[in-house]
Structure 1
Amino acid sequence: MNRRKVTFKLYPNARETERLTGWIRLHCELYNAALEERIDAYRKHGKSISYYDQQNVLPEVKAARPEYVELGSHALQQTLRKLDLAFQAFFRRVKAGQTPGFPRFKASKRFAGFCYPDPAGWKLMQSGTRGATLRVGSGKDSMSIRARGKHRFGDAARPNDLTITRKNGEWFASVTLRVSEDAVARVRTGDGHRGIDLGLNDWATFDNGETIANPRFMRTNLPRLADLQRRQSRKKKGSCRYKRLGRRIARLHERIGHVRLDFIHKQTSRLVASCAVIATEELVISNMSRSAKGTQNEPGRMVKQKAGLNREILSAGLSMAHQMLAYKAVEAGTRLHLSNTRQLKPSQRCSSCWELVPKTLEQRVHECPHCGLRMRRDQNSASVVLIDAHAPGTGVAARQKPRSRQRAKSKSTTRETAAKAFEDAQQSGSS
């Protein structure tokens, strides 16, 4: 069974909104009380409290505070489990030598929401094409909240867990579904082989020269965002106008995220539906978007320019595109090939003679001095990763040390170039 997450937008009335807000406040109070208990136990007695120690005390908490009863035992346990996961991540970062980030107390207005880890205590009922009803609670204390949304998995999908979140004054329900292999399968309409180079000048460049323009989600809305932030900075912090402008800024950021998500969903779905093989290079976006500020002893260079580049990298959503291609390719039966960037060096390698041709970032045209190939840099990179996908034996991963130029020019009858191997692979595939 596969698991897929579907998000529904909730439309609670005034009474239901007040009740959901009270539930979030109680979950936040439980989270902060459990965190304080762990801190005091270690500070005063040097004792570490585990998740199971705090879970076993929940019956006493509900006896002393009856308002916790209607929240459900499993939802309360999940809140304690969330705190335990935060401590596990803290200790993992300490061992790895990273910035630890000790778990902090949370304000109720900034507490995201709560979760039901299993189907108990709630039920989702689909009605019509996009209408739904979410029933939370049990017995006469339950409430039915109108929802909007739909998934493509049919009635055979079984709910696994529910997360109710509050974001910018709106309510959402994320439901994880257990879905069969047949239900998640996508229809593939083509058998093309495509090499893709994801970038910033063009969001995607293919090996045949086709491109997908970069919508520049953040840059398009940057003047409006800067105007709102400038107006907010002139207001008294904490005033009604300051908060009103803060909500408008949050809604603009949310809209940018929604437009980007919609664009990447459509492009990745189109790719996996029309291709049997998709080849691209493996990108580590966290390293590419790392700050250039440096340290006080060793300050960085061109910090403002690198900050603008980082904003464009994150705005393009390249990491999100890789994640979507990964699971959608499995659903459509498409083979996704990720080339090792450090070994293959697609932007520096010639797709015709397979020689390394060093280039700076400003050079957008590939000109090979060995074979005379002249091509757009991104198109050449897309061709290189596609060759690596069809003939991995000719790639750098097969020979860790590059061959010398003299040996590369020798007329050996047993060695084939990458381009020749790619042609043979295509001929064998067509036959």
Structure 2
Amino acid sequence: MERRKVTFKLYPTAREGERLSGWIRLHCELYNAALEERIDAYRKHGKSINYYDQQNVLPEIKAARPEFVELGAHALQQTLRKLDLAFQAFFRRVKAGQTPGFPRFKSNKRFSGFCYPDNCGWKVMHPGGRGAMIRLGSGKDAMSIRARGQHRFGKGAKPNDLTIMRKNGEWFASVTLRVSDEACSRARTAEQHRGIDFGLNDWVTFEDGKTIPNPRFIRENLPRMVDLQRQQARKKKGSCRYKRLGRQIANLHEHIGNVRRDFIHKETSRLVASCTVIATEALVVSNMTRSARGTREKPGRMVQQKAGLNREIFSSGFSMAHQMLAYKAVEAGTRLHLSDTRQLKPSQRCSSCWEIVPKKLAQRTHECPHCGLKMQRDQNSAVVVLIDAHTPGTGVAARPKPLTRQRAKSRPMTRETPATAAQGA
């Protein structure tokens, strides 16, 4: 069984919305009280309190505070588990010598929501079409909230857990589904072998020179964003107009994220549906977008230019595209090959003679002094990673010269879903 997530948009009435806000307020109060208890116990007595110690006190809390009863025991336990995970991450970073980031108290406005870790205390009902109903609680106090959304996995998908989220005054329900391999499978319409190079001038460049233009989601909306931020800076902080402009800025950020996610979903789905092999380089976006500011003793250079480059990289969503390609390739029975960038150096390597040709970032054309090959830089990189995908061995060290560029119609060695295997037969 595979696990997939589907998000429903909720349309609660005014009374239901007020009740949901009250539930979030109680979950936030529990989170902060549990954090304060851990801090005080260590400061005053040198004792560390774990998740199980705090979970065992929940019955006493519900007896003293009856309003916590309707939240459900499992949802309250998940809030305490959320705090415990934050402490585990803190201690892990301390041991690794990283910046630890101690867990902080959360305000009600910044507490995004709560979670039911299993299928107890809630239910998803589908009356038909894109409409649905999310039922929370049980008995006469249960709420049935109208929802909108659908998924492609059919009626056989079984709900596993539910997360209620609040974003910019709107409500969403994220449901994790347990889905069979047959329901997850994607139909493949072609058997192409494609090399891909992600970039900024063009979002994707293929080995044959074709490209997918970069929509530049942030750049298109940047003038509007700058105008709203300047208007907000001139307003008194905390005033009605200041808050109204803050909501407009948040809505604009949400719009940018939605259109980027929709674009990447569509393009990655087309790729895995038409390819047997997809080759690209393994990008580490966190390394690509490091700040050039430096320190006070050693200030960085060209900080403003690097900040603009980082903004364009984040706008393109390379990390999101890699994640989507990874799970969609498994569903379609497509082999996804990620070349080691440090070892292969696809942007510096010649796809014809396999020699290293150093180039600066501003040089957009590959000109090899050894074999005379002249090609667009991103296209050459796409050819290099495709050759690397068809080369036996573990990397560049496995061979001194590349293999022929003829694309063999070999059957992929990855696991294929039943639906894909049936199509191949």
TM-score normalised by the chain length of structure 1:
0.94
In the alignment, is the contact (CA less than 8 A) between 2:280 and 2:338 conserved in 1?
yes
Change (3 A) 1:261 1:397: farther
Name the counterpart of 1:268.
Answer: 268
Q: Which residue identity is paired with 1:176?
A: T
Shift of 1:393: 3.6
The whole-number CA distance in structure 2 between the counterparts of 1:391 and 1:419 is 7
In the alignment, is the contact (CA less than 8 A) between 1:351 and 1:419 conserved in 2?
no
Matched, 1:50 2:33: no
Name the counterpart of 2:420.
Answer: none
Name the counterpart of 2:24.
Answer: 24
Name the counterpart of 2:389.
Answer: 389
Shift of 1:419: 4.1
In the alignment, is the contact (CA less than 8 A) between 2:192 and 2:277 conserved in 1?
yes
Name the counterpart of 2:295.
Answer: 295
The whole-number CA distance in structure 2 between the counterparts of 1:102 and 1:380 is 46
The whole-number CA distance in structure 2 between the counterparts of 1:287 and 1:42 is 37
In the alignment, is the contact (CA less than 8 A) between 1:388 and 1:395 conserved in 2?
yes
Shift of 1:298: 1.2
Q: CA RMSD in A?
A: 1.2
Shift of 1:418: 1.1
Matched, 1:341 2:341: yes
The whole-number CA distance in structure 1 between the counterparts of 2:129 and 2:67 is 37
Render the CA deviation track for 1:125-180: whole Å, top value 9, x for unaligned: 11221000000000000010000000100110000000000000000000000000
The whole-number CA distance in structure 2 between the counterparts of 1:151 and 1:209 is 35
Name the counterpart of 2:311.
Answer: 311
Change (3 A) 1:17 1:397: farther
Name the counterpart of 1:108.
Answer: 108
Render the CA deviation track for 1:252-285: whole Å, top value 9, x for unaligned: 0000000000000000000000000000000000
Q: Secondary structure at the match of 1:118?
A: coil
In the alignment, is the contact (CA less than 8 A) between 2:391 and 2:403 conserved in 1?
no
Name the counterpart of 2:402.
Answer: 418
Q: Which residue identity is paired with 2:115?
A: C
Matched, 1:80 2:80: yes
Name the counterpart of 2:354.
Answer: 354
In the alignment, is the contact (CA less than 8 A) between 2:24 and 2:114 conserved in 1?
yes
Shift of 1:340: 0.3
Name the counterpart of 2:417.
Answer: none
The whole-number CA distance in structure 2 between the counterparts of 1:202 and 1:428 is 30
Matched, 1:242 2:226: no
Q: Which residue identity is paired with 1:418?
A: P
Render the CA deviation track for 1:395-424: whole Å, top value 9, x for unaligned: 51426xxx6xxxxxxxxxxxxx4143x43x
Name the counterpart of 2:208.
Answer: 208
Shift of 1:426: 2.5
In the alignment, is the contact (CA less than 8 A) between 1:344 and 1:397 conserved in 2?
no
Q: Which residue identity is paired with 1:333?
A: G
In the alignment, is the contact (CA less than 8 A) between 1:394 and 1:418 conserved in 2?
no
Name the counterpart of 1:406.
Answer: none
Q: Which residue identity is paired with 2:262?
A: D
Change (3 A) 1:74 1:428: closer
Name the counterpart of 1:410.
Answer: none
The whole-number CA distance in structure 1 between the counterparts of 2:96 and 2:233 is 39
The whole-number CA distance in structure 2 between the counterparts of 1:394 and 1:426 is 19
Q: Which runs of 4+ in 1 moved over 6 A?
A: none
Unaligned runs of 5+ in 1: 404-416
Change (3 A) 1:68 1:362: same
Shift of 1:428: 7.0
Deviates more, 1:295-304 or 1:321-330: 295-304
Deviates more, 1:200-209 or 1:389-398: 389-398
The whole-number CA distance in structure 1 between the counterparts of 2:345 and 2:370 is 17
Name the counterpart of 1:232.
Answer: 232
Render the CA deviation track for 1:55-85: whole Å, top value 9, x for unaligned: 0000000000000000000000000000000
In the alignment, is the contact (CA less than 8 A) between 2:74 and 2:116 conserved in 1?
yes
How many percent identity over aligned positions?
80
In the alignment, is the contact (CA less than 8 A) between 2:232 and 2:242 conserved in 1?
yes
Name the counterpart of 1:178.
Answer: 178
Q: Which residue identity is paired with 2:106?
A: K
Q: Which residue identity is paired with 2:20?
A: L
Unaligned runs of 5+ in 2: 412-425
Render the CA deviation track for 1:182-239: whole Å, top value 9, x for unaligned: 0000011010000000010100000000000000000000000000000000000000
